[in-house]
Amino acid sequence: MNKNIRNILLIIITLFFIFILFNNYHLFSNISLEIGIIYLTKVFPFLFIMMVINNLLINLNFPYYLSSVIKSPALYIMILSIMSGSPLNAILTKDFLERKMINEKDASIILSFTSFNNPLFLYSYFNLIFHNNAITIKLFIIIYLTNILLYFIFKNKLSTKEFHISYHSTTFNKAFTDSIKFSINNMLNIFATIFFFYLLTNIIIKQNTNTSVLIKGLIEITQGLNSLTLINLSLKAKELLTLAILQFQGLSIHMQISAILSKYNINYKYFYLSRIILIILSLGLGMLM
């Protein structure tokens, strides 16, 4: 698409959103309070603590020891991303790009199978939605299994260059302080993105139907999962909707990843192709299991 046409369309969409916001200003207080409660009780506690722990491990040279066992940058990023969730995969990918340990093509492919949600965040919502440990375990298996399968599908497209991370001296106090600062900055960015999309979708989509829950989830994961806790559906239908929402990852996370890697020429065709593959695989497994 011509850049001028694209920019004009974006300006029109932005002006349309401004009109919607002014037309619904009376809803701001209630929706803002709702977003704040959901973020503080469902997102921040789980994502923040895991982000601090993960970054603390990095500052305490965990990558140095891990890289002596795992020689693949892609597998290394995947393992650490499973522990914390997106957008850590983008942060780690950016770090590898800055150190010239991977190229932009590798980075484009790595993003396709390293986009996870924080496991504590997922566990909390799975319990709220299903109240069933068997379903929770099944969903975790499907999500991780399909991403691992995707790693093997795209593995041959990656360069085979091995990497090794140097050991650096630090104290626990400095490592902990740096981890807190890093996590707070990232959590503020995540909150701002969630707030923006949550506010707009709640103003535009007022009904809580099956379709609206899916649309909300595809735009912002937290909102979609929260809506699933309120809607009356069969457990199997909720399972499939949950898998579709989580494997797409939400436009909110897509934008966070894009912003983190904005200075690099990332080809997102692998990322969006992987979303389609993961949704198809997950829905297939979800219906069979």
pLDDT of residue 170: 79
What residue segments make up the domains of the chain, in order of their start? 29-288
Amino acid identity for residue 44 in this structure: F
- Mean pLDDT on 118-136: 89
Q: Which of 195, 231, 199 is nearest to 212 (CA)?
A: 231
String of b and e for 257-271 (b: at least 16 CB within 10 Å)?
A: bbebbeeeebeeebb
Cis-peptide into 87, omega within 30 deg: yes
Confidence of residue 279 (pLDDT cuts 50, 70, 90): very high
**pLDDT at residue 1, as a whole number:** 55
Which tens digits make up the pLDDT trace of 183-203?
888 888 888 888 888 877 777
> pTM here?
0.82
pLDDT at residue 38 in the model: 79
| pLDDT score recorded for residue 44 | 83
Structure tokens at 212: 């609206």
Residue type, 62: F
pLDDT tens for 242-257 read 999 999 998 888 988 9
- In contact, 105 and 267? CB cutoff 8 Å: yes
User: What's the confidence (pLDDT) of residue 215?
Assistant: 86
Which tokens hold the place of 84? 């914390």
In a 3-state reduction of DSSP, which class is residue 163?
coil
Element containing residue 133 per DSSP (H, E): helix 133-154
Poorest-pLDDT segment among 47-56, 216-225, 268-277:
47-56
**Where residue 37 falls among pLDDT bands split at 50, 70, 90?**
confident
| Dist CA 130 CA 96 (whole Å) | 38
Query: Is residue 274 pLDDT above 60, yes or no?
Result: yes
Q: How far is CA 269 from the centre of its chain?
A: 17
In whole angstroms, how far apart are CA 176 and each of 92, 182, 183?
Answer: 18, 10, 11
DSSP state of 166: P
Q: Note the pLDDT tens digit of each residue in 156-183.
A: 888 866 666 777 787 888 888 888 888 8
Of the listed ranges 173-187, 201-215, 227-241, the least confidently predicted one is 201-215
Would the pLDDT of 69 be above 60?
yes
Average the pLDDT over 67-73 and give the result: 78
Q: What angle do CA 88, 167, 148 make, to 5 degrees?
A: 35
pLDDT reported for residue 161: 67
Q: What pLDDT is recorded for position 281?
A: 94
- Listed range (71-85, 96-110, 194-208) with the worst mean pLDDT: 194-208
Residues in contact with 244: Cβ distance below 8 Å, sequence separation at least 6, in sequence order: 214, 217, 218, 279, 282, 283
pLDDT reported for residue 119: 87
Task: Give pLDDT, residue 160.
Answer: 64
Please tell me the predicted confidence (pLDDT) of residue 3. Answer: 66
User: Tens digits of per-residue pLDDT, 132-151?
Assistant: 999 999 999 999 999 999 99
Tokens of 215: 């649309």
**150 and 115 Cβ atoms separated by less than 8 Å:** no
User: What's the CA gap between 52 and 185, in Å, rounded?
Assistant: 11
CB-CB contact of 111 with 271 (8 Å): yes
| CA triple 244-116-278, angle to 5 deg | 40
Distance CA 239, CA 170 (A): 45
